């Protein structure tokens, strides 16, 4: 095959991927209107796997044609040059570059992964960026009035179902906007409203995302839209606080489904609303998690070039399954699997890999950190502290390889760095302790409602985010809730039994005794009593069994990514169950 044929074949493979990806995404509205929550979760899982399937198809075709694992330098430089030319006016150029990289990296050895053959650096920086206006619609209240403008925005979203009471929703939205200190003094002629053309679908909601633009400022907003049992739409809240918007787009939540023709333009719009979010986080949030990986890697390379601190073991208790390390100046941690596990971890490497994949494909309900999974990551040896490198070589030799001045991470997971919950508790005030224990219990409840049993519930396996939310990040003992057998501790039958030092009872591998949760997690009596006060049901086997039953009956719990107190409260609330 000559260079142009190879380039066109890879681009055709990308187009097949993007059509399929958008096909699944565009069906989100119908699943939402039909209230088919199970189908929504199934589609989200299927979409995550779609990319690798298309890459593998393209790789197999090229292997049959090329029949070599050593790239011809002149040929592949020609392939890259022509492929870049094909992307000159391509609306998904950055995604197509990443697809090209994925194909090449599966075909050839890591030693060939440099900018002559692949797009280590994106070519987009050398081009005129796609117009952000392609992704949003502008509205002008001076022409139609505020009330009519809001009505037009809601109707233009084309959500596929009638509103239960559109006029009520418009008035609720106007009242909510009036309460916002930033915008209440504005008149219709002093603003423009920009709204992304496509709603963002996730779980049981559709989200309208936009901004109010004035001469001096812009005010971002998100409006969640829900649907009642009668198939009627209603607005549930108005979110204008940027910190709260960041939580809605959190790394601990499932990916949105949103139709877009120009992802780079959509991401730039979102970046303008939430400047704290990185490109990697935003691409991942809208479902392009492979592009998120690419952007993260570029971010990492840039940070390594502009810093000089050393990689060190992450603060906190050492993991028994994972070795975790971090660059203090970089807000992420690297996790690699240890060579051997202690007897308390009766499983192997394959089980760990499977459990991390389970979480990746599951609804993370805002309580489980997303992971970026890499193979063959090369980092400068000089950036590893001697203590860390020695520990890695002695405990995780199967996961790393030292080659001259590089350390190759054969397989690793990267997560946002958080304060380990056990360390946070050491310095928390009395009020902070109460709030964080309350949120820890809520995190457990939201995970089990989503059919996730975290397994090891010790505080060291949870982190505290910048927004003071508790997020789980250690997945080596994760199971589906329905796989666990929740039991009550046997009561002693006689007085002598209660005094016996060797009192025992039969325990099967998947038996769990919720009464012991507080004791194991909170050896400190005062903290244990506070936990029981705040979440008494979590130490009752019957509560866990009830959650299992709800999962078995197909109940998808309502987990709102915004505070209950900001939700609109109508006299007669539509039925959401």
Residue in 341, 324, 544, 369 with CA at minimum distance from that of residue 449: 544
> Which DSSP symbol is given to 486?
E
Is residue 160 annotated as involved in ligand binding?
no
- Residue 278 tokens, joined: 């990185």
Is residue 317 annotated as involved in ligand binding?
yes
Residue in 450, 553, 20 with CA at minimum distance from that of residue 202: 450
Is residue 290 annotated as involved in ligand binding?
no
Beta bridge partners of 212: 193, 219
How many angstroms separate the CA atoms of 147 and 168, rounded? Answer: 11
CB 222 within 8 A of CB 207: yes
Look-up of token digits 């084309």: 158
Residue in 129, 52, 576 with CA at minimum distance from that of residue 357: 52
Contacts of 250 (CB under 8 A, 6+ apart): 366, 465, 561
Is residue 247 annotated as involved in ligand binding?
no
Is residue 277 annotated as involved in ligand binding?
no
DSSP states of 96-139: HHHHHHHHHHHHS-GGG-STTTS-SS-GGGGSPPPPGGGGEEEE
Phi, psi of 317 (to 5 degrees): -70, 135
- Residue 151 tokens, joined: 């009505």
Is residue 252 annotated as involved in ligand binding?
no
Task: Provide the angle, in degrees to the nearest 10, between the axes of the packed helices 430-449 and 525-534.
Answer: 50
Residue in 436, 431, 432 with CA at minimum distance from that of residue 469: 436
Angle, CA 220 vertex, CA 216 and CA 225 arms, to 5°: 150
Q: Which residues are catalytic?
A: 370
Paired sense of beta strands 332-337 and 406-416, if any = antiparallel
Contacts of 57 (CB under 8 A, 6+ apart): 13, 16
Angle, CA 241 vertex, CA 163 and CA 170 arms, to 5°: 25
CB 233 within 8 A of CB 159: yes
CB 331 within 8 A of CB 309: no
The distance between the two most distant Cα atoms of the chain, rounded to a whole number of Å, is 86
Could you tell me the sign of the dihedral formed by the alpha carbons of 331, 334, 335, 340, in that order?
Answer: negative
Look-up of token digits 């971010």: 299
Continuous segment of H or E residues that includes residue 210: strand 205-213
Beta strand extents in 293-420 (DSSP E only): 312-313, 322-326, 332-337, 372-380, 400-403, 406-416, 419-420
How many angstroms separate the CA atoms of 537 and 526, rounded? Answer: 18
Give the residue ranges of the annotated binding site for ATP. Answer: 314-320, 335
Annotated binding site: 314-320, 335
């Amino acid at each position: 095959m000559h260079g142009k044929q190879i380039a066109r074949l890879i681009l055709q493979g990308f187009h097949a991927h993007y059509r399929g990806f958008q096909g699944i995404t565009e069906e989100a509205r119908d699943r939402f209107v039909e209230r088919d929550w199970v189908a929504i979760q199934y589609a989200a899982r299927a979409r995550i796997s779609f990319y690798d399937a298309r890459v593998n198809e393209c790789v197999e075709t090229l292997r049959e044609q090329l029949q070599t694992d050593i790239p011809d330098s002149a040929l592949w430089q020609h392939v890259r040059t022509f492929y870049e030319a094909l992307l000159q006016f391509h609306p998904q150029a950055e995604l197509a570059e990443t697809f090209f990289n994925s194909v090449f990296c599966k075909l050839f050895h890591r030693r060939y992964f440099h900018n002559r053959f692949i797009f280590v650096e994106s070519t987009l920086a050398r081009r005129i960026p796609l117009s952000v206006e392609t992704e949003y619609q502008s509205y002008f209240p001076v022409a139609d009035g505020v009330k009519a403008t809001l009505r037009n925005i809601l109707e233009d979203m084309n959500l596929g179902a009638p509103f239960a009471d559109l006029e009520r929703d418009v008035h609720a939205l106007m009242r909510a906007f009036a309460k916002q200190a930033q915008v209440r003094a504005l008149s219709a002629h002093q603003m423009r409203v920009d709204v992304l053309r496509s709603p963002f679908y996730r779980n049981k909601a559709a989200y309208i995302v936009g901004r109010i633009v004035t001469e001096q400022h812009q005010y971002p907003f998100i409006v969640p839209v829900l649907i009642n049992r009668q198939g009627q739409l209603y607005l549930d809240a108005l979110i204008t606080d940027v910190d709260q918007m960041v939580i809605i787009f959190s790394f601990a939540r499932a990916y949105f489904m949103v139709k877009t023709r120009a992802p780079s333009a959509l991401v730039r719009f979102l970046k303008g609303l939430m400047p704290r979010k990185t490109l990697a986080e935003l691409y991942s949030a809208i479902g392009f998690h492979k592009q998120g990986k690419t952007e993260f890697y570029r971010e990492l390379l840039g940070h390594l070039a502009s810093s000089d601190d050393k990689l060190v073991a992450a603060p906190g208790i050492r993991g028994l399954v994972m070795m975790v390390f971090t660059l203090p100046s970089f807000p992420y941690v690297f996790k690699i699997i240890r060579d051997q596990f202690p007897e308390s971890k009766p499983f192997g490497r394959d089980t760990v890999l499977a459990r991390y994949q389970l979480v990746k494909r599951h609804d993370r309900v805002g309580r489980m950190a997303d992971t970026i999974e890499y193979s063959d990551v090369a980092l400068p040896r000089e950036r590893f502290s001697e203590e860390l490198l020695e520990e890695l070589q002695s405990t995780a030799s199967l996961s790393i390889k030292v080659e001259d001045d590089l350390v190759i991470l054969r397989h690793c997971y990267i997560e946002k760095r958080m304060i380990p919950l056990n360390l946070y508790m050491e310095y928390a005030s009395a009020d902070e302790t109460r709030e964080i224990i309350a949120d820890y219990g809520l995190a457990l409840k939201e995970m089990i409602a989503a059919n996730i049993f975290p397994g090891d519930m010790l505080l060291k396996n949870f982190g505290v985010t910048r927004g003071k939310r508790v997020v789980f990040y250690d997945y080596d003992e994760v199971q589906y809730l329905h796989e666990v057998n929740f039991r009550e501790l046997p009561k002693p039958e006689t007085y002598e039994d209660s005094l016996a030092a060797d009192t025992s009872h039969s325990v099967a591998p998947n038996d769990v005794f919720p009464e012991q949760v507080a004791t194991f997690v909170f050896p400190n009596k005062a903290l244990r009593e506070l936990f029981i006060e705040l979440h008494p049901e979590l130490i009752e086997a019957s509560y866990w069994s009830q959650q299992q039953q709800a999962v078995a009956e197909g109940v998808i719990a309502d987990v709102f990514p915004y505070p209950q107190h900001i939700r609109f409260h109508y006299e007669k609330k539509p039925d959401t169950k």
